[in-house]
Chains A and B, each alone.
Chain A
């Protein structure tokens, strides 16, 4: 059975289902209670689970830090950070405590926390509301980093994340919350973390893209005169390197697309992995189509900053001409 849902609805329904399945799940964060979250991802949860859904004060470090205590105690905290741009206020808790708890205690304590946060641009929001900092979290050992790009994946990946014994940062692309509906499987449905989705098969060039960029990459692939394979990794950590390598060994070319700044972004890491293990299959240098190394601009310049279909197309063409 399936039902047509938007991404935000898939997230909300998953939260309902996981709270029903496991009474250790606790949802909390700024405005997640009465208001149902600024994107309405938690709407109605507090009515169903008044003792496991909490409005929290404006305190990102506090929200994440309390999760360490909840998780250690035996709960499964699923906090929402209202916008991922404000997760920096909690980054020290994530980096110094959440991600390290298992290592520091030799596997005795763990924090099975899933930190949900809207991420990425495209909704003409205020300053600091659109950043795409997945590489910073991927650079934090002990943490899993997940980015769904479709409603069905949002359900499957969020379910896996909540059930995962390790801490997960779950980035929800704001641009996609209400962008379209698609069939979402009903009932128990999981997508394993670390398994890429080959969105579109092709022979000439591989494009790797996630979040909102996956859809732009797909559109660009449709519009060029070549056979383009599009791979959506679905999780940044663990990253399905094998699927990307397999695709690159077949096509000999690769373009990596992300919204984040170029320097030190995930595209650099993916390029390095291709260089390590598939260099001699390459017909051309790996191309990066990314945001620029400037602070994320206000929305008057946002469309020029974020890779669009034509920039991705040019990246593909550069790769094909190399």
Chain B
């Protein structure tokens, strides 16, 4: 018996800004000069914060840190598309996204200093704290998006994860459940080509990661993740769709130019030629070229931006260090439950007694 086609699948790829800074005028999003500068500022701030954080880690002032160098466009573009009432759910490499949403660098530094103060968030900010297990937060994004559907809210949730996370069951469950429950969720997969050392080709035999959406019956689309305008446009449209109950899976093709974390040595598993090639596609350089050509940026303004970032980071690092001095270990007992349970109160007393004995010694 001849076979017939049961289902045909194609995945769109979107690029607005070419590596040389030229633009597809038809797809170019209508963004004000202020918006463009804000995205540029986020990308530059993030790049510098990452560089400073790596240096601080090397000096022993931070714990393990995961830089987003190379992924600034994927995150600044997508986070910039969020409205205030949208939720953002992240993994552990989302420095540009947090900065775009107004999280002060001091918080990100605190988290890297091993302080829960850095993962504190507020209900009003609608940002979840970073999630360290790979991909598990995709379900929280789907849950928030489902909540928005139940509540009838005209808002959406954007959840970030990497290419490696698509191998986790939770990401599949999240996309599938989001589809079933009409969740207002956009899944943003930053395909940065490596899950620590394992290349994307060993993560899955699928041609694209975006096509994983098809199994869940939701839309999947690919975008050049080093193109901030393209990422912005695709995620903006995806959020619109999600607000109406149609979740979307966006695969942003990008490259982690730096380390997986500060305890990683990419020279073991990556080739210099590959790194050099992606350097020519650097998202910050590309966007800068575009902004110069548009007349939004010139040498003087770039110097101004850089100086203001250096000044801000100096202050934020100082504030983070001052905050670290005031860490009260006993506060670890404060947040396990809303009202402490008796056994925990006994342990707190033990802790206090041990601490005071220590002082007496």
A interface with B by C-beta (< 8 Å): 26, 51-52, 54, 56-57, 59, 61-62, 64-75, 92-93, 96-97, 102-110, 141-142, 144, 165-166, 194, 237-239, 241-242
**Which A residues are in CB contact (< 8 Å) with B117?**
106
Interface presence of B144 (CB below 8 A):
yes
**Measured between C-beta atoms, what is the minimum distance from B283 to chain A in Å?**
30
Taking a contact as CB atoms under 8 Å apart, the answer to whether B139 and A93 are in contact is: yes
**Measured between C-beta atoms, what is the minimum distance from B42 to chain A in Å?**
23
Taking a contact as CB atoms under 8 Å apart, the answer to whether A238 and B341 are in contact is: yes
> What are 11 A-B interface contacts by the 8 Å CB criterion?
A57-B177, A65-B139, A65-B142, A68-B139, A70-B146, A72-B144, A73-B87, A97-B133, A102-B337, A142-B336, A194-B341
Closest residue of chain A to B331, judged by CB?
A106
**Which A residues are in CB contact (< 8 Å) with B137?**
97
Taking a contact as CB atoms under 8 Å apart, the answer to whether B143 and A66 are in contact is: yes
**Which B residues are in CB contact (< 8 Å) with A75?**
147, 150
- Distance in angstroms between the alpha carbons of A56 and B180 in the assembled complex: 8
Closest residue of chain B to A167, judged by CB?
B337
Taking a contact as CB atoms under 8 Å apart, the answer to whether A104 and B116 are in contact is: yes
**Which B residues are in CB contact (< 8 Å) with A72?**
123, 128, 140, 143-144, 147
- Distance in angstroms between the alpha carbons of A163 and B89 in the assembled complex: 26
Interface presence of B316 (CB below 8 A):
no
**Measured between C-beta atoms, what is the minimum distance from B249 to chain A in Å?**
16
**Measured between C-beta atoms, what is the minimum distance from B89 to chain A in Å?**
8
- Distance in angstroms between the alpha carbons of A105 and B107 in the assembled complex: 12
Interface presence of B119 (CB below 8 A):
yes
Other A-B contacts than A69-B140, A96-B136, A241-B343, 12 sampled, CB-CB below 8 A, are A52-B150, A62-B174, A65-B139, A65-B142, A66-B181, A69-B142, A73-B148, A97-B133, A107-B335, A110-B338, A142-B336, A144-B341
**Measured between C-beta atoms, what is the minimum distance from B173 to chain A in Å?**
4
Q: Do A62 and B116 contact each other (CB < 8 Å), given the known contacts A74-B147, A142-B336, A194-B341?
A: no
Interface presence of B310 (CB below 8 A):
no
- Distance in angstroms between the alpha carbons of A67 and B181 in the assembled complex: 13
Taking a contact as CB atoms under 8 Å apart, the answer to whether A62 and B343 are in contact is: no
**Measured between C-beta atoms, what is the minimum distance from A283 to chain B in Å?**
25
Interface presence of B141 (CB below 8 A):
yes
Q: From the candidates A26, A141, A165, name the one contacting B338 in the complex (CB within 8 A).
A: A165
Q: Do A57 and B123 contact each other (CB < 8 Å), given the known contacts A69-B147, A166-B338?
A: no
**Which A residues are in CB contact (< 8 Å) with B332?**
103
Taking a contact as CB atoms under 8 Å apart, the answer to whether A51 and B150 are in contact is: yes
B interface with A by C-beta (< 8 Å): 87, 89, 116-117, 119-123, 128-129, 131-133, 136-148, 150-151, 157, 169-170, 173-174, 176-177, 180-181, 332, 334-338, 341-343
Q: From the candidates A65, A67, A194, A242, name the one contacting B170 in the complex (CB within 8 A).
A: A65
Taking a contact as CB atoms under 8 Å apart, the answer to whether A66 and B336 are in contact is: no
**Measured between C-beta atoms, what is the minimum distance from B98 to chain A in Å?**
14
Closest residue of chain A to B176, judged by CB?
A57
Taking a contact as CB atoms under 8 Å apart, the answer to whether A108 and B120 are in contact is: yes
**Measured between C-beta atoms, what is the minimum distance from A109 to chain B in Å?**
7
Taking a contact as CB atoms under 8 Å apart, the answer to whether B121 and A105 are in contact is: yes
**Which A residues are in CB contact (< 8 Å) with B335?**
102-103, 106-107
**Measured between C-beta atoms, what is the minimum distance from B175 to chain A in Å?**
10
- Distance in angstroms between the alpha carbons of A109 and B181 in the assembled complex: 23
**Measured between C-beta atoms, what is the minimum distance from B88 to chain A in Å?**
12
Q: From the candidates B119, B128, B136, B342, name the one contacting A65 in the complex (CB within 8 A).
A: B136
Taking a contact as CB atoms under 8 Å apart, the answer to whether A103 and B336 are in contact is: yes
- Distance in angstroms between the alpha carbons of A76 and B253 in the assembled complex: 37
Closest residue of chain A to B170, judged by CB?
A61
**Which B residues are in CB contact (< 8 Å) with A194?**
341-342
- Distance in angstroms between the alpha carbons of A72 and B143 in the assembled complex: 9
- Distance in angstroms between the alpha carbons of A72 and B120 in the assembled complex: 14
**Measured between C-beta atoms, what is the minimum distance from B156 to chain A in Å?**
12
**Which B residues are in CB contact (< 8 Å) with A104?**
116, 119, 129
Q: From the candidates A61, A62, A107, A241, name the one contacting B342 in the complex (CB within 8 A).
A: A241
**Which B residues are in CB contact (< 8 Å) with A96?**
132-133, 136
Q: From the candidates B116, B148, B338, B342, name the one contacting A238 in the complex (CB within 8 A).
A: B342
Q: Do A61 and B169 contact each other (CB < 8 Å), given the known contacts A69-B143, A104-B129?
A: yes
- Distance in angstroms between the alpha carbons of A238 and B342 in the assembled complex: 7
**Which B residues are in CB contact (< 8 Å) with A59?**
173, 176-177
- Distance in angstroms between the alpha carbons of A79 and B122 in the assembled complex: 25
- Distance in angstroms between the alpha carbons of A103 and B147 in the assembled complex: 22
- Distance in angstroms between the alpha carbons of A61 and B143 in the assembled complex: 12
- Distance in angstroms between the alpha carbons of A46 and B282 in the assembled complex: 53
**Which B residues are in CB contact (< 8 Å) with A239?**
343
What are the 5 tightest A-B residue pairs by CB atom distance, in nearest-first order? A69-B143, A65-B139, A73-B147, A66-B143, A62-B173
**Measured between C-beta atoms, what is the minimum distance from A145 to chain B in Å?**
11
Closest residue of chain A to B148, judged by CB?
A73
- Distance in angstroms between the alpha carbons of A64 and B174 in the assembled complex: 11
**Measured between C-beta atoms, what is the minimum distance from A269 to chain B in Å?**
10
Taking a contact as CB atoms under 8 Å apart, the answer to whether B123 and A109 are in contact is: yes
Taking a contact as CB atoms under 8 Å apart, the answer to whether A66 and B123 are in contact is: no
- Distance in angstroms between the alpha carbons of A34 and B169 in the assembled complex: 27
**Measured between C-beta atoms, what is the minimum distance from B152 to chain A in Å?**
10
User: Which of A67, A106, A242: most chain B CB closer than 10 A?
Assistant: A106
- Distance in angstroms between the alpha carbons of A54 and B145 in the assembled complex: 15
- Distance in angstroms between the alpha carbons of A97 and B144 in the assembled complex: 14
Taking a contact as CB atoms under 8 Å apart, the answer to whether B143 and A142 are in contact is: no
Closest residue of chain A to B341, judged by CB?
A238
Taking a contact as CB atoms under 8 Å apart, the answer to whether B120 and A238 are in contact is: no
